[in-house]
Amino acid sequence: MASRVALVRLRGEDALLSWLRGRLDRPLIGDDAAVLPRPGPFAVTVDSQIAGVHFPADLDSAAVARRLLAVNLSDLAAMGAEPAFAFLALAAPPGFDHKRFFRALLAACARYRLRLAGGDLATSPAAGAIATMTLLGTKAAKARWLRRGGAEPGHVLWLGGTVGESAAGRLLIGGGARLAGRRIELPALPSAWSHSPGLAAAARRAVRRHLLPAPQLELGRWLGGAGAGGAIDVSDGLSRDLHRLCRESSAGAEVSAEALPLPERFAPLCAGLGVDPRELALSGGEDYVLLFTLPPGVTPAPRFACHRIGTITRGKRILLRRGGRRDDLPALGWDHLG
Amino acid sequence: MASRVALVRLRGEDALLSWLRGRLDRPLIGDDAAVLPRPGPFAVTVDSQIAGVHFPADLDSAAVARRLLAVNLSDLAAMGAEPAFAFLALAAPPGFDHKRFFRALLAACARYRLRLAGGDLATSPAAGAIATMTLLGTKAAKARWLRRGGAEPGHVLWLGGTVGESAAGRLLIGGGARLAGRRIELPALPSAWSHSPGLAAAARRAVRRHLLPAPQLELGRWLGGAGAGGAIDVSDGLSRDLHRLCRESSAGAEVSAEALPLPERFAPLCAGLGVDPRELALSGGEDYVLLFTLPPGVTPAPRFACHRIGTITRGKRILLRRGGRRDDLPALGWDHLG
């Protein structure tokens, strides 16, 4: 009970909420619950971001807000949903810059036409912040929700972007890379890299991609109207999330290792980090690109930069084709209770 | 990044989710977001429960689940809403009994006709669990939502039950009282109490009230159909929540200190704890009873055990009448950023 302070006068919390309501257009905050002014149907998702688990404990509170929103929006993207309402539960340690956090959150909400409609504030029992966001998304009348269970044998398997880069960024952060203002600092570069501006740039892109992922809402919207089969966002690792997609669809898959889209200069970056690029691509996680299936002949527009990586098959086996060989692809990736 | 374990095979998390889905009727879990099968309108609330902040770190995980649900349901009660859907974000330390938590949560959800529709699991960065629940509630077609802003001058101010008892329970827990199975143990009783079974029983009731509050959903439902004015649930302290109700209603209030409903044997219990009963009743918080206003002449049925404690007035002053005196009642209570 230590971090609650009894018998205080109206101050921090109500003052902050009052400041926040002043920045909201037609605020929904102020009652015990928010009455949503728009009818459903709704798709609802919840995701947490925890300092020291999902992001470095010293990360700028504005970046925490953006990352929190992005990973949740990625779930709505995977449903083909339009962002509608956001609810925040934030437990922050003393000294946390709430106003900076909320300014960044509100700016990002505005960009995605999302209304912050309520939440809960508390003191963190840990050294860093713990933030949970609930998002409600709607869909256009004629669109369908995207589901994990919609993949069918014969469908082509697609990826909405490169994989592995976020995990490389996480490794770089573990080695001392950090966000300083808008710049990425790389204090502990392997000496070979300092002679290669291209590699340093690739490292900075990886760190940025990890800290500030870009949810593929426009792609999800397009897929919802284009007759996509199954869809999931790659958060826990490509192979693990592919297993989930296939399990929900009662189908198998065959993925081509050579077809996996890797970021520019990814191989030398991984060499510098001492990791296998293909392994990072298959199991690194937090890529926040959509993994989806389409009937043969349906192709996403070039602006989406999607990559064909395999096919959906009958049966339950999930295979990785490499050279002439085909091996079982295990469900490698993050286990949040691991 | 320390508490994430890379490159694990499908195990803890997916196995737990699979176990959980097997216990849900028509599970909504399995996609990136839950598509709600019921149209709105919805009232949405979010509240966190944090070990060491809101409950003792050694609390039985079943009790954590029940408390988490109860405090959130209390917010729906204050809106006159019917529970509909629940979303859980749970960050738990290693060794946390997830199955015990979920069994208790699902049993409580069934009792309140609430569907657990999704969530997120993570490893806690703190020694104890951090749980956030989002609830969506609906309302009957003819009922109104209860709002904080509906109090009008001339309305009678009511309380849905006694206040101060939960705060006394919190003090007892700070002194060593604990829940052991279904029993409340009181290892550190003031010696005078051991001669009074009545006092020990009052202490046990207070601890139980604190750990396992009872949301007043039936009262909220009745108020939604009975033309109630303003309503709020008392979570942060009667005086503080009364300030909020009055602020949203642009009104004042006058409360009678003598009319405050106190639990049985509350005065000797507080004497043993060395605290002022009236102060605990006004600012202790976590009572989870409804504070509401009704037009004169409208009276809740006796089964709701409500108490008339004052009136809503013109102006903005919030006064406490005691004996012949009337003094300003400050907004005492919890500040979650305090």
* Mean pLDDT, residues A278-307 taken together: 96
Q: What's the gap in Å between the CA of B91 and the closest CA on chain A?
A: 8
Residue A43: closest C-alpha in chain B: B35
pLDDT band at A7 (very low <50, low <70, confident <90, very high): very low
How does residue B152 score in pLDDT terms, banded at 50, 70 and 90?
very high
- Residues 44-83 of chain A with CB under 8 A from chain B are 44-48, 50-54, 56, 74-76, 78-79, 81
A14, A285, A327, A35: which is closest to A168 by C-alpha?
Answer: A285
In the prediction, which pLDDT does A191 show? 65
pLDDT at A221: 94
Tokens describing residue A207? 């760190």
Q: Per-residue pLDDT averaged across B301-319, rounded?
A: 97
Using CA atoms, how far apart are residues A329 and A240, in angstroms rounded to an integer? 9
Query: In the prediction, which pLDDT does B140 show?
Result: 83
The answer, yes or no, to whether residue A322 has pLDDT greater than 90, is yes
**What are the pLDDT digits (tens) for A19-47?**
888 888 788 888 889 999 888 899 999 99
Considering only CB atoms, A233 lies closest to which of B9, B32, B149, namely B32
Specify the pLDDT at position B23.
Answer: 86
A31 touching B, CB under 8 A?
Answer: yes
pLDDT confidence of residue A338: 57
> For chain A, what percent of residues have pLDDT higher than 90?
75
Provide the 8-state DSSP code for A316: S
State the average pLDDT for chain B: 91
- B180 interface with A at CB cutoff 8 Å: no
Please check the confidence at residue B313 and state whether its pLDDT lies above 60: yes
- Predicted confidence (pLDDT) at residue B105 exceeds the cutoff of 70: yes
Query: Which range in A26-30, A121-125, A317-321, B18-22 is most confidently predicted, on average pLDDT?
Result: A317-321
Tokens of B133: 């629940």
Per-residue pLDDT band at B336 (split at 50, 70, 90)? low
d(CA B233, CA B287): 8
Token pair 């006068």 is found at A9
pLDDT of res. A10:
35
Is A311 near chain B, with CB under 8 Å?
Answer: no
- Length of chain B, in residues: 338
How confident is residue A2, by pLDDT bands cut at 50, 70 and 90? very low
CB-based contact, A2 to chain B, within 8 Å: yes
Q: pLDDT per residue over B116-137, tens digit each?
A: 999 999 999 888 999 999 999 9
CB contact under 8 A, B79 and A42: no
**Confidence class of residue A190 from pLDDT cuts 50, 70 and 90?**
low
Token reading at A85: 């309402």
Cα Dmax for chain B: 72
Name the burial class of residue B176, with classes exposed (0-12), middle (13-18) and buried (19+) by CB atoms within 10 angstroms of its CB: exposed
B34-49, pLDDT tens digit by residue? Answer: 999 888 899 999 999 9
Instruction: Report B:85-114 residues touching A (Cβ under 8 A).
Output: 85, 87-89, 91-92, 98
CA distance A5 to A2: 8
Asked if B48 and A4 come within 8 Å (Cβ–Cβ), the reply is no
pLDDT at B1: 28
More confidently predicted of A16 and B327: B327
Going by pLDDT thresholds of 50, 70 and 90, the confidence category of residue B264 is very high
Across the interface, of A44, A79, A232, the residue whose CB is closest to B117 is: A44
State how far the Cα of A117 lies from the Cα of A32, in Å rounded to an integer: 11
> What's the complex ipTM?
0.91
First CA to last CA distance, chain B: 29
CA separation, residue B83 to residues A118, B44, B76, B78 (Å): 17, 10, 7, 12
Q: Is the pLDDT of residue A142 over 90?
A: no
**Looking at this protein, which amino acid is placed at residue B223?**
L
Q: How far apart are CA B109 and CA A221, in angstroms?
A: 33
Quick: pLDDT tens for B174-206.
999 999 988 999 876 666 676 787 899 999 999
Whole-prediction pTM: 0.92
Mean pLDDT of all residues belonging to chain A: 91
Separation in Å, CA of B56 to nearest CA in chain A = 7
Whether residue B48 and residue A122 make contact (CB cut-off 8 A), yes or no, is yes
Q: Is A137 on the interface with B (CB under 8 A)?
A: yes
- The rounded distance, in Å, linking the Cα atoms of A61 and A93 is 11
Tell me the C-alpha distance between A322 and A305, whole Å: 23
Chain A within 8 Å of B126 (Cβ-Cβ)?
yes
Residues in A 232-261 with any Cβ partner in B closer than 8 A: 232-233, 240, 243-244, 248
pLDDT at A21 (0 to 100) = 85
| The pair of three-digit structure tokens given for residue A9, joined into one six-digit string | 């006068």
B67 contacts on A by Cβ (under 8 Å)? none
- pLDDT, tens only, B4-19: 333 333 357 778 888 8
Per-residue pLDDT, B227: 86
Q: Strand locations in B222-317, DSSP E? A: 231-233, 252-256, 290-294, 307-313
User: Beta-carbon neighbour count of residue B324 at 10 Å?
Assistant: 5
Q: Which amino acid is at B46?
A: V
Kindly report the length of chain A: 338
* Å between B67 CA and nearest CA of chain A: 15
% of chain B beyond a pLDDT of 90: 75
B30, A248 contact by CB (below 8 A): yes
Measured distance CA(B164)–CA(B286) in Å, rounded: 8
Give residue for tokens 């309140």: B112
Q: Is residue A188 predicted with pLDDT exceeding 80?
A: no
pLDDT of residue B188: 64
pLDDT at A16: 84
Nearest CA in chain A to B3: A53
The residue that leads in pLDDT, B335 or B230, is B230
* Record: contact B125-A1, CB cut-off 8 A: no
pLDDT of B276 over the 70 cut: yes
The encoded tokens of residue B149 equal 């802003």
Rounded to the nearest 10 degrees, the angle between the axes of helix A266-273 and helix A165-174 is 30
What is the band of A11 on the pLDDT scale with cuts at 50, 70, 90?
A: low
Report in angstroms the alpha-carbon separations of B77 from A31, A86, A119, A122, B200: 12, 21, 17, 22, 31
Q: In 3-state terms, chain B is what percent helix, strand and coil (to 5)?
A: 35, 25, 40
DSSP state of A258: G
Q: Which of A33, A41, A89 sits opposite B132 (nearest CB)?
A: A89
